Amino acid sequence: MKKIIFTILALTITILAQESKLQLSGNLSEDLLISSKDFVIDENDKSVVIKKRPPILAAGLSVIIPGAGQFYNDDYWKSAIFVAVEVAAIITAISYNTKGNDQTVKFEAFANSENGWDVDKYAHWSVDNASRINPQILEGDPILNIFDSNGNVIWSKLNSLETKIGSWYSHQLAPYDDQQYYEMIGKYQQFNPGWADFNYSDAYTYGDPLTKTFDWYADERGKANSYYDVSNLAVKILVANHIISAVEAAFSANRHNRSLNAEVKMKSNLVGYNQVFYPELSLSYRF
């Protein structure tokens, strides 16, 4: 690294010594002592220095609070921009996550209502139509015994039947109230027979029109996912804002340190009976 330093003596101000009203005694040693009180060499050294900015400090500030590093670098407009992005991203992430949660509660509550989806209806329809979908399943096959003595669905046996049926029965129903449970019943056609407005007597097969309730529910679930997508994007922007702010702050601080630095010193010397003041300007540039 090269360093260029030059000193400019830009100005010399000569100030005549104040008019001295000395009462000399005629004794040389005493007169010299008296005169020395008026003419004291005064070395004033006042400096104005452009301080360096540690890039790591600027970056660290922005990692914690985006825009803080820019404020440290005196880049106030940049600081305002990063702060604005941070606030907007936080508000968006929180608000859309809340919207997603509210929408999820809404469609899950509907699915559990009497107008929603019924696992018993789906299970019975699957048993009644298993051999039609998969001719290898014969009447009386033990795989069809998926209910307990009280008529309740045995979930593990239902899953085994779904696997045995195969074809467009591509998934095993997730446990009740699981997130995947609410997703599956409004996503895959095999679960269409479980909706309240499905005609049980229909010889339904893959590719046939879905019920209106299935379509409506799928749209409602899609809205929730859209809200969550916006919230997730805001979180990514939030993280990126911290990183970009830190990098920019470090870069700007380093650029500042490499730019022209100035140091001004005001010095004075006694020349005879005259007090002479002069500024010393040192300029340095690193590259």
Number of domains in the chain: 1
Structural domain includes residue 223 = yes
Question: What DSSP state is assigned to residue 193?
Answer: G
Report if residue 5 sits inside a domain.
no
Average pLDDT, whole number, for the chain?
81
**Sign (positive/negative) of CA torsion 149, 150, 151, 157?**
negative
Q: How far apart are CA 103 and CA 148, in angstroms?
A: 35
**Is 220 among the domain residues?**
yes
pLDDT of residue 281: 52
In a domain, 50, yes or no: no
pLDDT at 250: 87
pLDDT digits (tens, 9 = 90+) for 32-67: 444 444 444 444 444 445 567 888 888 888 889 998
Give the dihedral of Cα atoms 81, 49, 1, 247; nearest 10 deg: -20
pLDDT digits (tens, 9 = 90+) for 95-148: 999 999 999 999 999 999 999 999 999 999 999 999 999 999 998 899 999 999
Lowest average pLDDT, out of 80-84, 223-227, 259-263, goes to 259-263
Q: Report CA 45 to chain centroid distance, whole Å.
A: 48
Element (H, E) at 4: strand 3-9
Query: What does the pLDDT read at residue 13?
Result: 34
Q: What domain range includes position 159?
A: 114-231
The verdict on residue 163 lying in a domain is yes
Assess if residue 263 is contained within a domain: no
- Whether 150 is covered by a domain: the verdict is yes
Is 65 among the domain residues?
no
Cα–Cα distance measured from residue 128 to residue 72, given in angstroms and rounded to the nearest whole number = 73
- Helix, strand, coil abundance in the chain, percent, nearest 5: 50, 15, 35
Mean pLDDT over 239-256 rounds to: 87
Confidence category of residue 25, pLDDT binned at 50, 70, 90: low
pLDDT at position 75, please?
86
